[in-house]
Amino acid sequence: MNFLESAPRFLFFTGKGGVGKTSLACATAIQLAEAGRRVLLVSTDPASNVGQVLGVSIGNKITAISRVPQLFALEIDPEAAAQAYRDRIVGPVRGKLPDSVVKGIEEQLSGACTTELAAFDEFTALLTDSEITSAYDHILFDTAPTGHTIRLLQLPVAWSGFLEAGKGDASCLGPLSGLEKQRAQYSGAVQALADGQRSRLVLVARAQSSALREAARTHGELAAIGLTQQFLIVNGLLPEDEAALDPLAKAIYGREQMALAAMPDELRAMPRDDVPLKPFNLVGLDALRQLLLETAPQPDTAGEPVELRAPDLSDLVDDIAADGHGLVMLMGKGGVGKTTLAAAVAVELARRGLPVHLTTSDPAAHLTETLHGTMAHLAVSRIDPHAETERYRQEVLRTKGASLDAQGRALLEEDLRSPCTEEIAVFQAFSRIIREAGEKFVVMDTAPTGHTLLLLDATGAYHREVARMLDAKGGRYTTPMMQLQDPERTKVLLVTLAETTPVLEAANLQADLRRAGIEPWAWIINNSVAAARPHSPLLRKRAQNELAEVEKVATIHARRYAAVPLLEEEPVGVERLLQLVAPVREAV
């Protein structure tokens, strides 16, 4: 493998959700450890599943993997990191400052901004703290999906510049009170990221146009901040010999080869490794050991064709349409197809003459590429973090800044350059859009799980603050969180694949939502090989592996569910999206 030649100390695995970053990071860690290197595998994903893939319980502490000597793992838990961060800042002043002041600091440290900063603080320590790094030959980072990762890797630059200029007051007073102490650590993290002898970025993609375009964008954005040592892995390629055995396999192989032929030039110039699709789920050490092998055990050719009987997407859309309006949110792990399914639900509702606003909170979303066209009754938008942050800054300067003198306005402008400002701006845009659901359908394609949970954390913090102020006054109010909790106004659809890890992650997300008082309405099993009834031995083996996971969804996790088959043609464009919701309409 090219990406492992003369491997530096730090290896970052990133890419669009669902491309196999975690499996490749785990397989690489195992291979390096079994070659005699001492390895630390770190997940920076707020919705980490490294422990699930390795088959061990890890958590927010460095844990030895007993069956792989020399391998250690850590899942940075944003909530645990945030609590430790708060304790570190508030502890020294508790009992020394008035209780009201301490409570004010704790409130400022309660939001999603602090959660992100705390996880980031641990991340930079792993790049710079010699007491940690000197114990390992390699530290591998399994990162969150692209949009969240770009923000994480840009933060050392953003915060270093922000602190270097001596900026920051009101909006980030709590978080910044701890950041000033970390100036040297952030500066060291910037240097480590930019040093090609110490850091290497492994861009993981599938042979799909959208994944390759996103990899190209990621390449450019991270090269711009100095991370230039980059390698490309194209994961999950269907072997050519399967294409002759099945129309579905032939279509998938042809689609993948076309995507590779049209690969952006900047990716074509990068060192590249291809990893073939495996017939088994990449969970557990035995499976992971085979992932990077040139040859792997072939599936048995014997066995009956797999037949899956399950409700289809049209059943769910009929029930949604009956309400006439409302918020429909699609959530789940990156790469499970939320964007495609959100677009399919939206175009079918619009086809029925219902007004629909299709939007996304995913920093790396491709709604317009998926739609590839327009239609009546359908409006499309994207919550662009950069645009929303600039809009928020201008609004604050127009209102709060209007009565300030030149010095006060300059201080306000400096405060608004804080990276925390983005959290506030994105939450405001989210709140503004979901209010429209009272008069039309708002279909939202959300960011991958971890990023969505941070947005919901901000929504919850806002709700608690409004309730604290208005309950005392006896005022009536409706917050965005109350709208999400109301099943008459909001339907949450959890999207998954019929594979072990995506189903586990969707179940974990469901538990998180329930703790927030949000009850998911339905599950969608997307890209089901079993529902497509393949003949290829490799695909048939994968279909057989799906049945147990579909059974778990149907009998344990979901109140209602639907299965969407893997299609021969990629569902891009309005007509193909409508085909995903066509069965009931054609049968009537």
List 115, 171, 501, 536, catalytic entry:
501
Bridge partners of 326, per DSSP, are: 441
Bridge partners of 522, per DSSP, are: 493
Say whether 181 is catalytic. no
Positive or negative torsion for Cα 310, 314, 318, 324: positive
Going by the DSSP 8-state scheme, the letter that residue 241 receives in this structure is G
In angstroms and rounded to an integer, the radius of gyration of the C-alpha atoms of the chain is 24
**Helices (H), strands (E): how many in the chain?**
26, 15
Say whether 21 is catalytic. yes
Q: Which residue has the tokens 């079918």?
A: 348
Torsions phi, psi for 522 (to 5 deg): -160, 160
Nearest to 86 by CA among 59, 114, 112, 61: 114
Say whether 445 is catalytic. no
Q: Between 420-434 and 449-471, two packed helices, what is the crossing angle to 10 degrees? A: 80
Asked if residue 435 lies in contact with residue 481, where contact means CB atoms within 8 angstroms, the answer is no
Say whether 22 is catalytic. yes
If you write DSSP's letter for every residue of 176-203 in order, what string do you get?
A: HHHHGGGHHHHHHHHHHHH-TTTEEEEE
List 17, 18, 147, 332, catalytic entry:
18
Torsions phi, psi for 563 (to 5 deg): -120, 135
Euclidean distance between CA atoms 443 and 446, whole angstroms? 10
Nearest to 48 by CA among 333, 290, 329, 330: 333
List 14, 17, 23, 48, catalytic entry:
23
List 14, 17, 22, 457, catalytic entry:
22
User: Which long-range CB contacts under 8 A does 239-243 form with residues at least 24 apart?
Assistant: 239/276, 239/277, 239/538, 242/536, 242/537, 242/538, 242/539
- From residue 356, alpha-carbon distances to 274, 442, 577 in Å are 41, 6, 15
Say whether 57 is catalytic. no
Q: In what order do the strands lie in the sheet with 39-43?
A: 63-64, 71-75, 39-43, 138-142, 10-14, 199-206, 230-237, 272-276
Structure tokens at 29: 């860690």
Q: Which residue has the tokens 């950069």?
A: 386
SS (H, E, C) 88-146: HHHHHHECCECHHHHHHHHHHCCCHHHHHHHHHHHHHHHHHCHHHHCCCCEEEEECCCH
List 45, 77, 312, 445, catalytic entry:
45
- From residue 414, alpha-carbon distances to 82, 403, 405, 428, 578 in Å are 25, 17, 14, 20, 48
List 21, 333, 338, 491, catalytic entry:
21
List 15, 20, 174, 178, catalytic entry:
20
Euclidean distance between CA atoms 166 and 293, whole angstroms? 51
Core vs surface per residue 40-71: b (16+ CB within 10 A) or e:
bbbbbbbbbbbebbbebebebebbebeebebb
Structure tokens at 317: 């859309």
Instruction: Tell the burial category of 375 from Cβ atoms under 10 Å away from its Cβ (0-12, 13-18, 19+).
Output: middle
Say whether 20 is catalytic. yes
DSSP element (H, E) containing 480: helix 480-485
Give catalytic residues, as residue numbers.
18, 20-23, 45, 501
